């Protein structure tokens, strides 16, 4: 995100900050039943600060992980024609919540242990005769008929690997690997796993990564194939890579494996450091702090860490990083006099003995905080009829963090960090009102908060 430090930093930070229709208790529904005729209820609530028109349409829902089908009349596991809703159109006032009843009338000779469909819910907010917001939600339903015997059969047909250092990806960035599995479900029940995916190297005899499987991003529909991609921040080694999926789906144990032979041409040493900010102040100047370096590549190397000044020590001076492992380095401050104003900020640089190219994908900074700081932030909102962009600038002399609040609701999940002189642009991807917008900001590592709301 931050390309350089020194003087002014200009960074484009693109964020989707969502506020719209609240669908509860879930956005995806798994229903277990032994009945073929029953009613299910969920709720919709209008979170937009204007009245909304809600329309509901019953559709098919099938995906192969790359594309979606919302109309497949020949899919024998579809429940679309056996479902009705009590209201297909309704008006919701601001903050109004209403129940939606889904009525099922499924024939007893339905062939699957799972039936699937979805509701397409459209929300339109009209103000001054113009549509201000139009949003579509796809709400899938997976119905497990518990009286139907389960036949679960899955196989990995193919594995492909993409190295993002050589082939950057718009979604995942320019480092790490994307592993894509083609998985076929030959059974009569949807595969909705809860478990883990393990990626290991036979050549290095090590587990590279183990990730949870507990998301509806990964569903294999009965008698269909799915492409499932997982991102890991690592360069994969040459040799055989094993992929193992284990866990449960609908209470049934599964263990699915596959292998891929790789020839890795990328010779970069890829490092990730945390935390991103190591802060020393007059009160903590004698406290030894820690930096964790993680090796994201299959190479063993010896490194040194430093900043551009000599009053920060890194211990040990030299340290070895092993493939896919972490190492801790202590950081000691030797500066005694903090009688200055503002923050002094230094990039932690890494050097390598072998001369191999090295890249730190998440640079860390040492920040020395003077006894006196002046936190200051200003922001502006630039809007068209359909879109608003918030521009936030740190006009003070210290590192800040901030939150964006709209109608007193925080839109970002975690505080955003902004350096002195830095500008961050946030694209709402819709129109927002300045009188409902606030920026809550505070010095990094401090609890005292300030508000900017002059829009």
| pLDDT tens digit sequence for 60-72 | 999 999 999 999 9
Q: Give the end-to-end CA distance of the chain in Å, rounded to a whole number.
A: 26
Nearest to 443 by CA among 282, 289, 279: 279
Cα separations in angstroms, 158 against 115, 164, 397: 27, 20, 54
- Report, as an integer, the average pLDDT of 291-314: 96
Residue 216 binned pLDDT confidence (cut-offs 50, 70, 90): confident
> pLDDT at residue 397 above 70?
yes
Secondary structure E strands in 268-340: 269-274, 277-280, 289-295, 301-306, 312-315, 319-321, 326-333
269-369 CATH:
2.60.40.10
Maximum Cα–Cα distance for the chain, whole Å? Answer: 82
Beta strands in 186-268 (DSSP E): 194-201, 206-213, 224-232, 239-249, 252-262
Cα gap 286→335, rounded to integer Å: 9
pLDDT score of 12 more than 50: no
Q: What are the tens digits of pLDDT across the range 175-205?
A: 999 999 999 999 999 999 999 999 999 999 9
Going by the DSSP 8-state scheme, the letter that residue 128 receives in this structure is T
User: What per-residue confidence (pLDDT) applies to 9?
Assistant: 30
pLDDT in tens, 410-451: 999 899 999 999 999 999 888 889 999 999 999 999 989 999
How far apart are alpha carbons 30 and 225 in whole angstroms? 20
Give residue 4's pLDDT.
28
154-262 to CATH, choices 3.30.200.20, 2.30.33.40, 2.60.40.10, 1.10.240.10: 2.60.40.10
**pLDDT computed for residue 129 by the predictor:** 58
Query: What CATH fold (topology level) applies to the domain 376-452?
Result: Immunoglobulin-like (2.60.40)
If you average pLDDT over residues 140-155, what whole number do you get?
94
pLDDT-based confidence at residue 131 (cuts at 50, 70, 90): low
d(CA 378, CA 417): 14
pLDDT at 157 over 80: yes
Q: What is the mean pLDDT of residues 391-411?
A: 95
Domain 21-145 CATH (choose: 1.20.1260.10, 3.40.50.720, 2.30.110.10, 2.60.40.10): 2.60.40.10
Indicate the pLDDT class of residue 1, thresholds 50, 70 and 90: very low
- Nearest alpha-carbon partner for 118 in 96, 92, 145, 136: 136
pLDDT at position 217 is 84
Within the chain, all domains assigned CATH 2.60.40.10 are found at 21-145, 154-262, 269-369
Residue 403's SS3 state is strand
Return mean pLDDT, the chain: 91
The pTM score is: 0.82
C-alpha–C-alpha distance, residues 351 and 73, integer Å: 61
């Amino acid at each position: 995100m931050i390309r350089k430090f020194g003087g002014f930093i200009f960074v484009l930070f693109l964020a989707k900050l969502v506020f719209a229709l609240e669908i509860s208790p879930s956005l995806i529904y798994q229903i277990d039943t032994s009945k073929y005729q029953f009613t299910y209820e969920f709720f919709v609530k209008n979170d937009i600060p204007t009245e909304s028109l809600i329309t509901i349409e019953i559709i098919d829902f099938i995906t192969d992980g790359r594309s979606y089908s919302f109309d497949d009349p020949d899919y024998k596991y579809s429940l679309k024609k056996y479902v009705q809703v009590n209201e297909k159109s309704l008006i919701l006032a601001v903050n109004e919540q209403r129940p939606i009843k889904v009525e099922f009338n499924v024939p007893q000779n339905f062939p699957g242990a799972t039936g699937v469909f979805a509701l397409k819910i459209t929300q339109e907010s009209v103000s001054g005769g113009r549509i201000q917001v139009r949003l579509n939600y796809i709400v899938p339903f997976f119905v497990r008929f518990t009286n139907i015997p389960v036949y679960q059969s899955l196989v990995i047909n193919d594995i492909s690997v993409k190295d993002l250092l050589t082939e950057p990806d718009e979604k995942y960035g320019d480092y790490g690997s994307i592993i894509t599995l083609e998985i076929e479900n030959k059974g009569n029940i949807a595969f909705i796993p809860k478990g883990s995916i393990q990626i290991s190297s036979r050549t290095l005899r090590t587990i590279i990564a183990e990730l949870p499987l507990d998301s509806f991003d990964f569903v294999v529909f009965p008698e269909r194939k799915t492409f499932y991609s997982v991102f890991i921040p690592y360069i994969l080694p040459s040799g055989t890579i094993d992929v193992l999926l284990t866990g449960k789906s609908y209470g049934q144990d599964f263990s699915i494996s596959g292998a891929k032979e790789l020839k890795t041409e990328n010779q970069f040493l890829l490092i990730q450091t945390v935390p991103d900010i190591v802060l020393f102040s007059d009160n903590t100047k004698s406290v030894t702090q820690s930096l964790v370096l993680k090796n994201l590549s299959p190479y063993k190397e010896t490194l040194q860490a430093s900043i551009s000044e000599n009053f920060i020590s890194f211990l040990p001076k030299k340290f070895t990083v092993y493939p896919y492992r972490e190492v801790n380095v202590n950081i000691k401050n030797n500066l005694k006099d903090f009688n200055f104003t503002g923050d002094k900020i230094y990039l932690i640089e890494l050097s390598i003995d072998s001369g191999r190219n090295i890249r730190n994908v998440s640079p860390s900074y040492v920040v020395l905080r003077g006894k006196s700081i002046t936190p200051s932030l200003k922001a502006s909102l630039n809007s068209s009829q359909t879109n608003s962009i918030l521009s936030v600038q740190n006009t003070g002399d210290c590192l800040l963090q901030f939150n964006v609040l709209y109608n007193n609701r925080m839109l970002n999940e975690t505080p955003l960090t902004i350096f002195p002189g830095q500008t961050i642009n946030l694209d709402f991807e819709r129109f927002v009102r300045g009188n409902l917008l606030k920026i809550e900001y505070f010095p990094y590592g401090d609890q005292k908060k300030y508000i900017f709301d002059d829009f």
